[in-house]
Amino acid sequence: MNKLSAKKKLIGMILLPAFFSGAVTAHVAVAAQDQSNSINQPEGYTSEGNAGQVWRSTYDLGNHCWRTGYWNDTMTTEECDGVPKEEKVAEAAPTPAPAPAPVAPPEKLTFSADALFDFDSAVLKPNGKIALDEFVRGLDGINFDVIVAVGHADRIGNPDYNQKLSVRRAESVKAYLMSRGIPESSIFTDGKGETQPVTGTACDGKSGQALRACLEPDRRVEVEVSGARRR
């Protein structure tokens, strides 16, 4: 072997270990970098291996991170999506359903029995029909389910008779409402006789025509409508 060849061989032997030494050093540096990325790697995003850099899209100006199939809003990061995690989760929260509208209480109208009927009668007078016509026209603005007519009597006379009279008057109101187109299945009737007076003791000590006039509020037909007014 000549001196030139020996020199080249010697240089190769010296450089080769240095090359491998540098390669080992570079590998260690990459591994250290990957381990650091592993610690800070956002959850739910695609990366190179288990500890690599997070992949980013190059097809949009946002340069967003690639999401995995199991990504959800709770995994949002400011680095990958441009908004703080708490803000993104708040935006993704579903809008609560509006509270249901309160149910309107039933509407109750009280008709004086003396306005609807003659004394001790269950036959509707002309003015009584006019009053019920007004009531029916008022139903045009209501989606009603049930109409209940309840008859009441005063304490003059026999309680059993007054009970039956209050029922007959309620039935007369129902029959007229049906004649105006309200379905029979939507109307219910009842009679309370003299058991629910509204005059209290105001008429005590009166008699004859004075007592009869004083007890007029007790003679009545209450009509209650369950439904809601249309808006």
pLDDT score at 47: 63
Strand partners, 112: 220
Q: Which of 155 and 16 is assigned the larger pLDDT?
A: 155
pLDDT score at 63: 53
Residues 76, 139 share a domain: no
Residues 46, 142 share a domain: no
* Close Cβ partners of 182 (under 8 Å, ≥ 6 residues apart): 136, 139, 147
In a domain, 24, yes or no: no
**Looking at the whole model, is its pTM more than 0.85?**
no
Q: Which band of pLDDT confidence, cut at 50, 70 and 90, is reported for residue 53?
A: low
Q: How many domains does the chain have?
A: 2
Q: Which band of pLDDT confidence, cut at 50, 70 and 90, is reported for residue 95?
A: confident
Residue 139 contacts residue 225 (beta carbons within 8 Å):
yes
CA distance 132 to 187: 14
Domain containing residue 76: 30-93
Residue 223 contacts residue 187 (beta carbons within 8 Å):
no
CA distance 78 to 180: 70
pLDDT score at 33: 41
Which CATH number do you get for residue 170? 3.30.1330.60
Cα separations (Å) of 6 from 14, 15, 20, 75, 196? 12, 14, 22, 63, 131
